Amino acid sequence: MKSKLQQSLEAGKFTITSEMAPPKGTDFSHILSIAEDIKDRVVAANVTDFQSAAVKASSLSMCIELERIGLESVLQMTGRDRNRIAIQGELLSAAHFGVKNLLALTGDHPVVGDNPQAKPVFEFDSVSILQAAVILNGGKDLAGNPLEGTPNFFLGASVTPVFDPIEVQIMKMRSKIAAGAKFFQTQGVYDVETMRELKKQTEGMDCYILAGIIPLKSPGMARYMNNNVPGIRVPEEAIERLSKAENKEEEGIRISGEYIAQLKDEGLCDGVHIMAIGAEENVPKILDVAGL
C-alpha cells in the first residue's frame, strides 16, 4: 500500500508534514503527547536522524512510536553514522515496523554536533542512500541477495533553495531524482521570491516539493540563523516584525502561517514541511493562521 504522504501528493492535495526529534534520553512522553496533538493536522511527520549530529534516541525508534499512535512517519536517514550494511538493515527494520516513507540525507558532520569526537562514516551520501532504497524496494540487497519480504518506500530528499551558486543544488536535485527521489522537503525558507525562483529552476522536474517552514521565536533566533545556519536567509522585514511584536513567539507563528497561505495561494509548492524545532506544539496554531 502506498503511504498517505504519497497518496496525498499524487492526489494533488496541498500536503503538510512536520518534523519531530526523538528525545535525548529514554523518556518519549513529552514528544509523543505533542504527536497526539498534531496527528490530525499533518499527513506525516519526519523523524530526524541524530539531527545536527547530536546523540539522541534513534529515528527508527520514534517512527515506530508514531506509527503506533497512528501518525504516519517519514524516516530520516543520513550517511554519517552507518555503512551500507547498517543502512540496509535499518531500512528493512523500518519497513517491518510499518514505516513507508524515507528521507535520505547526507547528514551534518560530527564536528558540528555534541559528540564531535566521533568517527564520521559517509560511505553513502543522500544519493547513494536513495540508490540503496530503490534496490531494496526491488527485492534485493545491494549485493544482489534476495530479500524475504520487500519494502516499498516512498523516497524523498532535501534541497537548500538559498544557495550560491543555486545551480549546484539544482543539479544535485536532478541526481537525487535520477536515484529515486519523488519528493523534496526544502531547508527553511522565508521569502516568497525564493520559492518562485525554485519553482522556475525546477520546471518540468518529476518531483513534489514541500517548502520548509521554521517558525521564528525571536529576532535573536532569526539573526543567529542568518549568521550560522547554512541556507537560511530570514528577511529584515520579518526580523523587524518580531522586534516590534509584544509576544514574539505568537508573531513568529503568524509570520509562518501567513507565509504558508501565500505559498499555497500562489501555487509555489506542493505543500509545506514545518520544522518547529522544540516547539512542535505550535504546529496546529501555525496551520490555523494559514487556514489549513
Partner 1 sequence: MIVSQKKPFEEVLGYLDDVETVVLTGCADCASLCKTGGEDEIAELTAALEAEGKKVLASKVLTTSCSLLLNRKELKEIKDEIKAADAVISMACGDGVQTVAKNVKKATYPSNDTMFVGETVRQGVFQEMCKTCGECVLGRTAAICPITRCGKSLLNGACGGSKDGKCEVIPENECAWIEIYEKLKEVGKEAELEAVQPLRDYKDRTYPQTIDLRKQAKKGA
Binding site for partner 1 (CB under 8 A): 80, 84, 106, 108-109, 111-112, 120, 122-128, 131-132, 142, 158-160, 163-165, 167-169, 171-172, 174-175, 178-179, 187, 230-231
Nearer residue to partner 1 within complex by CB, 164 or 246: 164
Identify the helix (H) or strand (E) that includes residue 183.
strand 183-188
- Alpha-carbon distances of 51 from 57, 116, 137, rounded to whole Å: 10, 13, 26
Cα–Cα nearest to 105, from 62, 53, 157: 157
Nearer residue to partner 1 within complex by CB, 38 or 213: 213
Nearer residue to partner 1 within complex by CB, 14 or 122: 122
CB of 146 to partner 1, least distance (A): 19
Q: What are phi and psi of 6, to 5 degrees?
A: -65, -45
Count, in order, helices (H) and strands (E) of the chain: 11, 8
CB of 169 to partner 1, least distance (A): 7
CB of 72 to partner 1, least distance (A): 25
DSSP string, 13-82: --EEEEEE---SSS--HHHHHHHHHHTTT-SEEEE-SSGGG---S-HHHHHHHHHHTT--EEEEEESSS-
CB of 217 to partner 1, least distance (A): 22
Nearer residue to partner 1 within complex by CB, 34 or 105: 105
Nearer residue to partner 1 within complex by CB, 235 or 284: 235
CB of 175 to partner 1, least distance (A): 5
